[in-house]
Amino acid sequence: MQAFLPISREDMAARGWEQLDFVFISGDAYVDHPSFGPAIICRVLEAHGYKVGIIPQPDWHSTRDFNRLGKPRLGFLVSAGNMDSMLNKYTAARKVRHDDAYSPGGRAGCRPERATIVYCNRLRELYPDVPIILGGIEASLRRFAHYDYWSNEVRRSILVDSMADLLIFGMGERAIVEIAANLQQGVAVENIQDVQGTCYRVPNFDYVWDYEALPSYQAVKTSKEQFAAAFKLEYLEQDPIRGRRLAQQNDEWCVVQNKPSMPLDEAGMDAIYDLPYMRTYHPIYEKDGGVPAIREVQFSLVSHRGCFGGCNFCAIISHEGRIIQRRSHRSILREAKILTQMPGFKGYIHDVGGPTANFRRTSCDGQLERGTCRGKPCLSPIPCRNLVADHSDYIQLLRELRALPGVKKVFVRSGIRFDYLMLAHDDFLEELCKYHVSGQLKIAPEHITDRVTHCMGKSDRAVYLSFVKRFQRINEKLGKKQYLVPYFMSSHPGCELSDAVELAEFIRDMGYHPQQVQDFIPTPGTLSTCMWYTGLDPLTGEKVWCAKSYEEKLMQRALMQFWLPKNQPIVRKALRLAHREDLIGYGPKCLVRPEKHTASGTHAAQGKQPAKAKPGVHRNAKAKKKQPPQGKQRRQQRRPKA
């Protein structure tokens, strides 16, 4: 019978289980849906015959919650959740967020900072001899020595700080099944060292074979050049076919990374998404109003994994990889039919896609045999000559979905790579605009100056403007009024104040009023974060300007929303610092008006202090009436009314 996984001893008793094989500790509330990593891993293990339970968001202040399901026979699995716990808690300005979409009722504070490490410490207190296996994006992107933005320091591998036994990086279905089989056969966890997609620790390099050595933790901690060199080697070896084993000394432990897991074929992807998920949050959260994160994905379909777009600020390359892994039409249609029978379904499939919606095939035909090209991007800033831009499979999938009984509309809301789309015929964009856009299409040019888009790994302004024209032309042809919603990012490495001003002018000329803007956050594991910390492009060694002060970051962000009254003072300051006073005024090209023509405002504009007003006289020249002396004012205030 389809049911939620056990979260209590009562649930175990209902299944007739006295002991579990694995207990999953998760930083998220329990949502049994294939968009949530803990649900996938637990269901995969269940499908292979293992008894699995989950402890969602345990109270970390003691060991009590961690013992809720007892001692597992084979091991504990630990994940901070669908997000890095530090990113989940703090904004780019290091301010505490007020909500958490992955917690009951959106309530913040349900997980600790650095949740993976905290959870492991509690488990070691409770059961020092039980294997601990890490997974999830927090562990995946912190597997080697890494820069931590929130503490502003280089930290050791999370495998060392947590003292876990194994770390699974990337999408871990293959790895967890292989590890479970080894444990089931009695192999000691410290001897499981040959599973692709995993990291393990040994005392030093004498225990490793056939590897490339990274600069040590001490070296990357004290030298930014060494940090960049280590990141370059990590980044270039992120390939399951041609990648090499890597090793890095982290104080008393050497962390060894095997090759990434091999990509799943269609049958493998289908098997994962065909598992018996409940597709909603556990009933224990009903009293809190549910778990907000389910709303975006409950009536959406994952069609593939991976991304060859190559955005430098994105962690997908290091987590899901560049090789596209797709599901079959048959599997996706099966899931769509399930959605049509679910409570709350109103005929609308909210999204069909993956990290990038219109990537449904590998970027070239040879990728599955030889791997991705080392150090060569597939798409941007210049498309590879071997890139195959083909939307035919995706178009056919969308047609089949919208033909299903009970489906009124199929939307595409995940990211569309417009530069990839521009390499194909108009047919796809026309069909997209005709059937799959709900008045607005979200896209992410991120910036428009060549210097910044180069650092981002994005296409340039000319490609974006060509797409805008094509989008407008097709919608005019269709007789539709539909609009683009572009996303832009401030303070990315390479973005100087002059670039931010140029972006503001572009936004003005295009008539945009972005309501959402993203300030760059240096998250672990990305090429952009390496640039931000070191001031170097690790792939070329070139120096890169980075906006690090709070004020400059504030100015860049404010320039993207220059029309907001609250941003006017900081925008004026930014324009003066950039020597662009021509954009302060009343002309059609001006971004902001001058300060008000008050006595104080005029002097402020000239950089002078206003003259000190006489006591009892308003500063406003138009107000001529004198006020009573301060002492008399106080006596009048104390006088009782008649």
* pTM of the full structure: 0.90
Asked if pLDDT for residue 505 goes beyond 50, the answer is yes
Residue 287 lies in a domain: no
What tokens were used for 109?
């504070």
Q: Write the single-letter amino acid at 543.
A: K
CB-count exposure of residue 410 (10 Å: 0-12, 13-18, 19+)? buried
Contacts of 136 (CB under 8 A, 6+ apart): 27, 37, 38, 78, 79, 80, 81, 82, 116
Please tell me the least confidently modeled range out of 90-99, 406-415, 545-554, 607-616. 607-616
Distance CA 138, CA 63 (A): 22
What pLDDT band is residue 425 in, cutting at 50, 70 and 90? confident
Residue 581 lies in a domain: no
Distance CA 522, CA 529 (A): 5
Per-residue model confidence (pLDDT) at position 172: 94
Residue 210 lies in a domain: no
Separation in Å, CA 275 to CA 32, 226, 266, 270: 11, 45, 15, 9
Residue 452 lies in a domain: no
What tokens were used for 83?
């997000």
The CATH number of the domain holding residue 413 is 3.30.750.210
Tell me the pLDDT of the chain averaged across its residues: 92
Residue 455 lies in a domain: no
List, in sequence order, the alpha helices (H) in 76-170: 85-89, 115-126, 136-140, 158-162
Asked if pLDDT for residue 624 goes beyond 80, the answer is no
What pLDDT band is residue 426 in, cutting at 50, 70 and 90? confident
Of the candidates 175, 200, 225, which is a domain's last residue? 200
- Report the half-sphere exposure of 545 (CA within 13 A, side-chain side): 13
The CATH number of the domain holding residue 171 is 3.40.50.2300
Residue 626 lies in a domain: no
Residue 357 lies in a domain: yes
Asked if pLDDT for residue 162 goes beyond 60, the answer is yes
Domain count, the chain: 2
Distance CA 416, CA 429 (A): 10
What pLDDT band is residue 516 in, cutting at 50, 70 and 90? confident
List, in sequence order, the alpha helices (H) in 491-622: 497-510, 527-534, 550-559, 568-577, 599-605
Distance CA 397, CA 395 (A): 5
Same domain, 174 and 308: no
Of the candidates 161, 183, 200, which is a domain's last residue? 200
Same domain, 184 and 316: no
Distance CA 43, CA 27 (A): 17
Structural domain boundaries, residue 194: 9-200
E strand or H helix that includes residue 132: strand 132-134
- Report the half-sphere exposure of 586 (CA within 13 A, side-chain side): 2
Asked if pLDDT for residue 226 goes beyond 60, the answer is yes
**Conformation bin of residue 614: beta by default, left when phi > 0, alpha when psi is -120 to 50:** beta
Percent of the chain exceeding pLDDT 90 equals 87
What pLDDT band is residue 474 in, cutting at 50, 70 and 90? very high
The DSSP string of 187-205 is --GGG----TTEEEEESSG
Q: Of 365, 356, 369, give the one whose Cα is nearest residue 310.
A: 356
What tokens were used for 236?
């270039």
What pLDDT band is residue 392 in, cutting at 50, 70 and 90? very high
Residue 104 lies in a domain: yes
Of the candidates 417, 438, 459, which is a domain's last residue? 438
